[in-house]
Amino acid sequence: MSLEQKVNYQLNKVPGVKKYIKRAYQLGCYAVSKKIKSEGNIVKVSPDDPSHEYFFGYYDKSPWDATMRYLICMRAKDTWSEPDPLGTADILLIDTKDGNKVKHIATTHTWNVQQGCMAQWLGPDFKSRILYNDMREGKYCSVILNVETMEERVLPMPCYTVSADGKTGLSLDFSRLHSLRLGYGYAELPEKTKGMALPNATAVWKIDIETGKTTDLLKYTDFANFEPRHEMKEEESVHKVNHLMLSPNGKRFMVLYRWFCGQRKYTRLVTCNVDGSDMYVLSDDDMVSHCYWKNDEEIIAFERKKEFGPGYYLMKDKTQEWTHIWPQLSNDGHPSYCPTDNNLVVFDTYPSRSRIQEVKIGLDTDTKGESVKVLAKVFSPFKYDNDTRCDLHPRWRQDGKAICFDSVFEGHRGLYYVKLD
């Protein structure tokens, strides 16, 4: 762990002070650094429209449809003032075969600056229907929209993750997320569990997308009572779940179970069958952030292992087998696998001390770090920081020849992609 990371770890205990120290440090570093706006084979796909912000959302979904012609894009007026804004945002289709022509197809009332409204192409064809979260009749929901006929069907709950066959979705409490982690929840409706440190309430729901039937799957107490640690039982320890992701075959899912003891945060990576059975603690070394299924049995994650510190690890589900890859990398990012090469991973970085972010690729068979290459570098203005920062969230195109990302190097959010040779 670098000196910066050690200082950051200590400052996490005083987040109010951390924000000002971090800003002063970055301003000083930026003042003496080489100025870079962008580097790499970068192509812009969103409009040249400085009056709006354009972005897609999270790294676990691809904006491209199966034909690789159309991209989903979000459009909003302001993405720098509030992480979970009230009001609406537009959902667009960008036609890359027609001069990146934009078509407005929907409007959402539930979105945030990190994950948008979970807009995604719905399987199994990934080209005729999209699914996105919204609010209808005073309740959060998800909407299935046929982009060819514009017919829609409303599901009774918002989705966080959807199976590849388009049949199953999982959901969580987006209002509790808004209360406990800005930038990932929705602010429209009040949290029903507000003030409850450990609610005896549903934490994860299962949605049958074909019928609309919802099932209570797991409670917060189910996570807290499974192989409990003493920190979970501390008085006023606050509990939540986040980052659900179904396996490729839709039979298991992963979830980050987090609890807070004062300013100290703990995270477990838990896997489970889609019916809520066979729960397994895959990682329990206090810090796990961004993960991705390589296949139905392996998961890549940025986490901190007590033996080796923070880094990227490839783990085998339901075992304690893991491999530390790219050992020179100790900074967090968002990894995902190339659709055409199951060993090739794209990931990004947060702004450096000089406010530079990078898109990188590497092979997960590489335990020395020799395969890691930088594809693009972009500047991140100070206007976008903390809870309203713009993470790159790189996502693959289906042919593995391009990677899409959000960025603010032109002064406002835009949607871009970088080509691979």
Decide which of 2.130.10.10, 2.40.50.140, 3.30.70.520, 3.40.140.10 is the CATH code for 33-419. Answer: 2.130.10.10
pLDDT at position 15 over 90? no
Tell me the mean pLDDT in the region 64-77.
98
pLDDT class for 29, splitting at 50, 70, 90?
confident
pLDDT for residue 365 = 98
Which of 118, 222, 121, 126 minimizes the C-alpha distance to 170? Answer: 118
Q: Which two tokens stand for residue 378?
A: 């972009």
pLDDT for residue 28 = 78
Which percentage of the chain shows pLDDT scores above 70?
95
Tell me the mean pLDDT in the region 387-415.
97
Q: Which two tokens stand for residue 198?
A: 């450990």
pLDDT at position 9 over 60? no
pLDDT for residue 11 = 59
Q: Which two tokens stand for residue 221?
A: 């107490």
pLDDT class for 12, splitting at 50, 70, 90?
low
Long-range contacts of 357-362 (CB under 8 A, 24+ apart): 357/392, 357/407, 359/40, 359/392, 359/394, 359/403, 359/405, 359/418, 360/333, 361/420, 362/325, 362/326
CA atoms within 13 A on the CB side of 271: 23
Average pLDDT taken over every residue of the chain: 94
Which of 258, 255, 254, 195 minimizes the C-alpha distance to 224? Answer: 258
pLDDT tens digit string along 309-356?
999 999 999 999 999 999 999 999 999 999 999 999 999 999 999 999
pLDDT tens digit string along 270-309?
999 999 999 999 999 999 999 999 999 999 999 999 989 9
pLDDT class for 154, splitting at 50, 70, 90?
very high
Exposed e or buried b per residue across 14-40, where buried means at least 16 C-beta atoms within 10 angstroms of its C-beta: eeeebeeebeeebeeebeeeeeeeeee
Mark out the alpha helices in 213-331 (DSSP H runs). 220-225
* Cβ contact 404:56 at 8 Å: yes
